[in-house]
Amino acid sequence: MSITSPNLSGFYAYTETLKGVHYGPGSVKTALPKLLASVGGNRAFIITGKTLYTATNVVKTVENVLKEHNAYSATFYEIGQHAPIAGVRNGVKAFKDAGADVIVSVGGGSPVDAAKAILYFIQQETGGRCLPQIAIPTTLSAAEYSIGAGFTNEQGEKSRITSTELAPAGIILDAELTLATPERLWLSTGLRALDHAVENLYRPGPGVPIPLKYLCCVAIADLFTYLPKSKANAQDVEVRQRLQVASWMSVWPIKDERRGPLGLSHALGHKLGATYGIPHGITSCLTLAPVVNLKAEVASQADKEALAAVLFYLRQESTGSVNGDVRKLSSLIQQLVVDLGLKSTLSEYNVPNDDLPKIAQLAVGGDNNDPLVNNVISLLQGIF
């Protein structure tokens, strides 16, 4: 019996910030007008990427819905990978020139994060409330559920801003709009969602409430099940819709400003991504399995047990030891990466071998006297 409902359409609302998540094939046509009304948006400004705008009909579909309701102002498509600051600044100017009062982001994590950054900088200028964003993701990166945003500064480094007001006011998960997403981008961002779910199991600080850890386990199981099915049949909208819901479950939005960053795989991804031009989905393909394997050696017993418990949800037999189960999970993740055709190395992305100690130090926040730094250096050498 499936743990998920056979009905793949629905609606969920939470706080005064998040007015609702609408999901289901074709839902953009009815959900977007509802969300505009709920946030009081009259002039929507679309933020997206150039390829999505010029090579697909996805953005035109969203534009047409807005035009039908006399709520369209302009479309801005200068957002590149890792949201470079130049595009963000140009977006601030274009938003103000359009006289817009709400952003509709369409695409992956870069447009969603760029939208947050644009709204943040506008709020800093005006001193007023943060204007709303409605996110329509076409990948599985799950940036739309967080209160933070990353963008690339002039030095090519990742900068980050965080505020509960930056969380999108509405989210639309319409699987039909993901059909044009390139396979490698779609599947690798699925690994990014897997990275979220796994690292939520050992997130430092107050961490994730126990009920949400069960959601993460179900998300992991669904990602393992449906990513290969999506690779086998990229046009299966039902499978794509289930993957969008799994991505949502991997970082279910909760109001807790005390939570720290996710974990080592994400820390490494942030240091590798913008600096070396590696998409964040691919950084997860590179780092998640090795990090989980390292956890078998360095994690607390509670964190090891949380990782080991995932085997039950994957319907895998235990090895008979917690450490062995964690290593088995690592192997299963690595095999999934291989099966999806996503295996790569740091050298393929021209990451200099001499940079590995610096990357490890930045990710861990220590120096060469820290045993964990040396462990991470060895980890990076293993994927070089």
Dump pLDDT digits (tens) for 221-274.
Answer: 999 999 999 999 999 999 999 999 999 999 887 665 455 668 999 999 989 987
pLDDT value, residue 255 = 60
**What pTM was estimated for this model as a whole?**
0.92
Q: Where are the domains of the chain?
A: 10-178, 183-256+277-344
Q: Which of 106-120, 167-181, 284-298 has the lowest mean pLDDT?
A: 106-120
Cβ atoms of 61 and 28 within 8 Å: the answer is: yes
Per DSSP, 177 falls in state G
Q: Could you tell me the CATH superfamily of domain 183-256+277-344? A: Dehydroquinate synthase-like - alpha domain (1.20.1090.10)
Pairing of strands 102-107, 133-137: parallel
Cβ atoms of 83 and 150 within 8 Å: the answer is: yes
79 compared with 310, residue with greater pLDDT: 310
196-231: b (≥16 Cβ within 10 Å) or e: bbbbbbbbeeebbeeebbebbbbbbbbbbbbbeebb
| Amino acid (1-letter code) at residue 304 | K
pLDDT value, residue 275 = 85
pLDDT value, residue 256 = 55
Run of H or E residues at 47: strand 44-47
* Section 297-316 average pLDDT: 96
DSSP string, 73-108: EEEE----TT-BHHHHHHHHHHHHHHT-SEEEEEES
Cα 51 to Cα 96: distance, rounded to the nearest angstrom: 24
* Section 98-126 average pLDDT: 93
Q: What is the pLDDT of residues 307-352, one digit of tens each?
A: 999 999 999 999 999 999 999 999 999 999 999 999 999 999 999 9
Cβ atoms of 344 and 351 within 8 Å: the answer is: no
Architecture category of domain 10-178 in CATH: 3-Layer(aba) Sandwich (3.40)
pLDDT value, residue 2 = 37
* Section 11-15 average pLDDT: 63
280 compared with 285, residue with greater pLDDT: 285
Instruction: Name residues whose C-beta falls within 8 Å of residue 354's C-beta, 6 or more positions apart in sequence.
Output: none
For residue 117, is pLDDT > 80? Answer: yes
Q: Indicate the average pLDDT of the chain.
A: 91
Q: What is the pLDDT of residues 143-162, one digit of tens each?
A: 898 887 778 776 666 778 88
Cα 113 to Cα 269: distance, rounded to the nearest angstrom: 16
Instruction: Name residues whose C-beta falls within 8 Å of residue 153's C-beta, 6 or more positions apart in sequence.
Output: 85, 159
pLDDT value, residue 3 = 44
Q: Return the percentage of the chain with pLDDT > 90, whole number.
A: 73
